[in-house]
Amino acid sequence: VKCNEPFPPDINDLVRLHKLIRERKVFTILEFGIGYSTIIMADALLKNKLEFEQKNITNIRNNEFKICSIDSVKEWINIFRENYKSFTNLFELIELCYSDVKIGTFNDRICSYYEKLPDIIPDFIYLDAPDPVSVKGNINGITFKNKTINAADILLMEPLLIPGCYIIVDGRSNNSRFLKNNFQRKFKYTNNKEDDIS
């Protein structure tokens, strides 16, 4: 996959992410697709961490202040590292992960999976990747080239997610409906057509 210029930042999206992470007192974030959002979420996470340290709270279980951002394009990861290398205090909370993406099925429905996910239990998930072009393979001749995509990684993780886990799907309305229709738990689902998020 060849990288072009990244999309310009959507300020409203970034402000929403920062506010939600602060309000929900998030510990651990799983982000699908790196970008401006990674830095903004890391900043909110750092503020959460500093608040907990000031209050001397020590009874935190199973979570750590960390954002794991996974991408299927090595070049985007390298560009991100170069552009934000001066943000050393934020990089202490960021783990950048690379993984190929392959086509697969979930409940006999075509979808995609990252081949390797970070070994964490997030309480906040931001789904904004993968790029359909990066998905390898086909099923009965069908690929995701030039199509919408149904990333199913969160469905695999569902039994491990803690109550209250918050998931934002940026755009990808088809993917958000796929998740909604296949979750086994009773998640509360909302779709904001104006801001194009679920």
Looking at residue 64, its pLDDT comes to 84
pTM of the model: 0.92
| Stretch 77-90: mean pLDDT | 91
Work out the pLDDT band at 54, boundaries 50, 70, 90.
Answer: confident
Q: In the sheet where 101-106 sits, what is the strand order? A: 109-114, 101-106, 135-136
Burial 155-188 (b: 16+ CB within 10 A, else e): bebeeebeeebbbbbbebeebbebbeebeeeeee
The closest alpha carbon to 6, from 39, 51, 49, belongs to: 39
DSSP 3: -
